[in-house]
């Protein structure tokens, strides 16, 4: 690496947001010095396969990197890995790392993502309690899964739901799955789909436990005991959990940046309250492109889109962010894509196909579409975005109704 202590663009984080920002910057500025600083030891890579395709043989570790080292070199992006940034001085425009390095910047992007919300467990059993965020986490978990045994999966969100699917298809594992709600992804799915999903887990041999709020995990007789607030307990060999994410906001707090919804408040160009600092990905709270209200999302598509927008803005582009981000998941043979705000607590209208295999769910506020979930329906995300952008009213949903113009 060519070493400078000053960079025109200093990108903190080496995930999809920082990677997209670097590519966008270079599309507008061919000479500015770019440095990407990553806490992990891997160059930017795809994260979704960690809980999906890698377990099922659909993806390989060798295919995870977003770009090769040679491609990054050709793009003239310097990358320093395994050295987390520990301090940000916005007055001096400097960033310091745990290894004692100090870098000066003209413009900086904060794209450090987040970290798994942690369970509090005794030190003596931490080597048998797992979560998943990084490639290193996946490798550790894969090694444990290969040993077999009884595992308890905890968490009804995307990570818990996908891990329960992946582990249930591995040899030698007895999978018990505990969620605090009515079923997997209950915060998103309407009752008709929640019932289908729950039945599918059970058909795969997963022992699904609903309405279970974790109280403690402890060692007993050489095994682990997972106890819930209702008194129910499960004995197992190891535990894996996904109970949400906490944004890595320490640098933003040090810099006294304006915050909103747990992230860094930015404008439609992803610029923070400091004119020399931008934010993207899980950290950015930006104006919704349709409704103007603050929104912060923790999805892959959002990280790439906001990173791209931030990079263009850092290089002088003034276009406002207009992308409605997509999120998706695969649960056995079921798959869905969704756009906008999709919460089962909202007013929902569900349109089922005649055979019940497909569905479109409209999530409404004041009868206007705020989100659309496409269940086993593909290549319709842009049409869903158009419905939201038009602030479409839906009073009743039928399979031939809103779909006929798609």
Nearest to 175 by CA among 142, 205, 130: 205
Q: What is the pTM of this model?
A: 0.95
Written as six digits, the tokens of 347 are 């007013």
Nearest-angstrom CA–CA distance, 73 and 60: 24
Q: Determine the pLDDT at residue 175.
A: 98
Q: Determine the pLDDT at residue 79.
A: 97
Written as six digits, the tokens of 163 are 């891990």
Q: DSSP string covering 219-258, please? A: EETTEEEEEETTS-EEEESEEEE---EEE--HHHHHTT--
Tell me the pairing of strands 347-352 and 359-365. Answer: antiparallel
Nearest-angstrom CA–CA distance, 68 and 381: 30
For 276, residues 6+ apart whose C-beta sits below 8 A from its C-beta are 90, 93, 105, 106, 107, 108
Nearest to 97 by CA among 8, 13, 18: 13
Nearest-angstrom CA–CA distance, 401 and 369: 14
Nearest-angstrom CA–CA distance, 339 and 351: 16
Nearest to 370 by CA among 391, 352, 350, 355: 391
Q: Are 184 and 207 in contact (CB under 8 A)?
A: no
Can you name the residues that pair with 359 across neighbouring β-strands? 352, 375
Nearest-angstrom CA–CA distance, 329 and 156: 13
For 197, residues 6+ apart whose C-beta sits below 8 A from its C-beta are 161, 183, 184, 185, 189, 331, 334
Tens digit of pLDDT at every position of the chain (406 positions): 444 589 999 999 999 999 999 999 999 999 999 999 999 999 999 999 999 999 999 999 999 999 999 999 999 999 999 999 999 999 999 999 999 999 999 999 999 999 999 999 999 999 999 999 999 999 999 999 999 999 999 999 999 999 999 999 999 999 999 999 999 999 999 999 999 999 999 999 999 999 999 999 999 999 999 999 999 999 999 999 999 999 999 999 999 999 999 999 999 999 999 999 999 999 999 999 999 999 999 999 999 999 999 999 999 999 999 999 999 999 999 999 999 999 999 999 999 999 989 999 999 999 999 999 999 999 999 999 999 999 999 888 877 655 545 5
Written as six digits, the tokens of 212 are 């279970």
Q: Determine the pLDDT at residue 213.
A: 96
- For residue 195, the Cα-to-chain-centroid distance in whole angstroms is 25
H-type alpha helices, 282-333: 300-314
Nearest-angstrom CA–CA distance, 279 and 310: 7
> For 321, phi and psi rounded to 5 degrees?
-65, 125
Residue holding tokens 């793009």?
75
Nearest-angstrom CA–CA distance, 64 and 396: 43
Q: Determine the pLDDT at residue 2.
A: 45
Residue 15: strand, helix, or coil: coil
What is the b/e burial string over 127-162, where b = at least 16 CB atoms within 10 angstroms of the residue's CB? ebbbbbbbbeebeebeebbeeeebbbbbbbbbbbbb
Q: Determine the pLDDT at residue 167.
A: 98
Nearest-angstrom CA–CA distance, 299 and 242: 15
| Domains of the chain: residue spans and CATH | 6-115+246-314 (3.50.50.60), 118-243 (3.50.50.60), 333-405 (3.30.390.30)
Other beta carbons within 10 angstroms of residue 392's beta carbon come to 15
């Amino acid at each position: 690496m060519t070493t400078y202590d000053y960079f025109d663009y200093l990108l903190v984080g080496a995930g999809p947001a920082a990677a997209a920002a670097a590519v966008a910057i270079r599309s507008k500025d061919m000479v500015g010095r770019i440095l990407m600083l990553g806490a992990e030891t891997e160059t930017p890579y795809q994260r979704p396969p960690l809980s999906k395709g890698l377990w099922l043989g659909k993806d390989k570790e060798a295919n995870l990197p977003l770009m090769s080292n040679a491609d990054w070199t050709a793009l003239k992006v310097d990358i320093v890995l395994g050295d987390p940034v520990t301090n940000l001085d916005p007055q001096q425009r400097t960033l310091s790392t745990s290894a004692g390095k100090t870098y000066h910047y003209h413009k900086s992007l904060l794209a450090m993502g987040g970290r798994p919300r942690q369970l509090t467990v005794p030190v003596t059993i931490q080597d048998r309690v797992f979560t998943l965020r990084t490639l290193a986490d996946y490798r550790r978990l894969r090694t444990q899964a290969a040993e077999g045994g009884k595992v308890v999966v905890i968490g009804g969100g995307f990570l818990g739901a996908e891990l329960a699917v992946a582990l249930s298809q591995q040899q030698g594992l007895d999978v018990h799955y505990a969620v605090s709600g009515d079923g997997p992804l209950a915060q998103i799915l309407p009752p008709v789909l929640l019932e289908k999903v729950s039945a599918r887990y059970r058909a795969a041999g997963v022992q699904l436990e609903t309405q279970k709020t974790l109280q403690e995990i402890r060692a007993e007789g050489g095994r682990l005991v997972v106890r819930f607030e209702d008194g129910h307990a499960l004995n197992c060999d190891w535990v894996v959990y996904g109970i949400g994410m906490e944004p890595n906001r320490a640098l933003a707090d040090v810099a006294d940046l304006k915050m909103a919804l747990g992230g860094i408040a930015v404008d439609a160009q992803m610029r923070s309250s400091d004119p020399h600092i931008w934010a993207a990905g899980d950290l950015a709270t930006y104006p919704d492109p349709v409704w103007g209200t603050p929104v912060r999302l923790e999805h892959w598509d959002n990280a790439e889109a906001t990173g791209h927008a931030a990079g263009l803005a850092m290089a002088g582009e003034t276009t406002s962010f207009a992308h409605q981000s997509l999120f998706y998941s695969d649960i056995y043979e079921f798959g869905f894509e969704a756009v906008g705000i999709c919460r089962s607590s909202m007013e929902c209208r569900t349109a089922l196909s005649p055979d019940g295999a497909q569905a479109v769910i409209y999530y409404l506020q004041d009868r206007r579409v705020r989100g659309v979930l496409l269940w086993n329906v593909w290549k319709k995300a842009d049409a869903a975005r158009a419905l939201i952008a038009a602030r479409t009213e839906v009073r009743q949903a039928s399979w031939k109704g809103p779909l006929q113009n798609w």
